[in-house]
Chains A and B, each alone.
Chain A
């Protein structure tokens, strides 16, 4: 069963920042494929949400971009800026706290 995309809208920035913290630099399509492969297709990251989120993080100075010519076309790579590296720690902590609170609210027992 596919996960309702509405549920992870609020954590989209955290997902992007965390992926970039683990992968040094990635391009848009690569991010969507990575999410698809990690979640085994259960979670589909829509490009209509991904690119605006990437651009917002770039404008906030949390991401840096570089371009490279790949197969005769320009490819834009995103990577964490110094501020982004600091922010990813905060965002992950926030997400973990939120999940813990959610588990309490829904009376769920962690599976680990």
Chain B
């Protein structure tokens, strides 16, 4: 059967009510429209309900399956993310990272007497990780929640950028801020800021690599 725009919207709203994530909605909606197009019956609201119950086991089954899928796929994303971080210590990324670490060590020792201004580096790390997290926070809780369904992909991106910002906030308030909870020497503070820079750099590059390699090609 050929469906009118109104009928398609009706199907969309019914499918939307039985799914939580955007990925599931897109897949179920496409399937139901394919089924309806192939059917020789007259369109009705109950026919859509019947297809959802017959093919997917109804709302309960759909929600149960998408919860399992969301858990599995998020675990897989985190496994890939961890793999990208580990790759930073393997060929061909290893030399570039070693050069970065060595140059910070050199900088630290050459400025031991004069002192090293860590504020710009500290601020730049904070800005980058907070902006990244803020972007995905807005995407996850504002754009995805208010304008469309939440997406498994953006939930993962928001969670993974939150790790970076949580670590930075912890380091900042405990050790790096002028009124830090734990008071440490200026030299130790410099070591911490430079180490944090190296970690952030590896973390960001792993995130970008994962995004370009995997996330970008996965369903939105």
Contacts and interface: CB of A to CB of B under 8 A. Distances in A.
Interface of A: 27-29, 46-48, 51-52, 55-56, 58-61, 64-67, 70-71, 73-76
Nearest to A55: B69
A59 B27 contact: no
B34 interface: yes
A74 B30 contact: yes
Given A48-B61, A65-B219, A29 B69 contact: no
30 contacts: A28-B30, A28-B31, A29-B34, A29-B35, A48-B56, A48-B57, A51-B56, A51-B65, A52-B68, A55-B65, A55-B68, A55-B69, A55-B73, A56-B72, A58-B73, A59-B75, A59-B76, A61-B76, A65-B219, A66-B217, A66-B219, A71-B33, A73-B29, A73-B30, A74-B30, A74-B220, A75-B26, A76-B23, A76-B27, A76-B30
A52 B218 CA distance: 17
Contacts of B29: 73
Contacts of B50: none
A59 B72 contact: yes
Given A29-B34, A75-B30, A55 B72 contact: yes
Specify the main secondary structure of chain B where it touches its partner.
helix
A58 B27 CA distance: 14
B129 to A, nearest CB: 28
Interface string B181-220: 0000000000000000000000000000000000001111
Interface residues of B, number: 24
Nearest to B27: A76
B72 A76 contact: no
B65 A74 contact: no
Contacts of A28: 27, 30-31
Nearest to B75: A59
Contact of A59 (B55, B56, B73, B220): B73
B7 to A, nearest CB: 13
Nearest to A66: B217
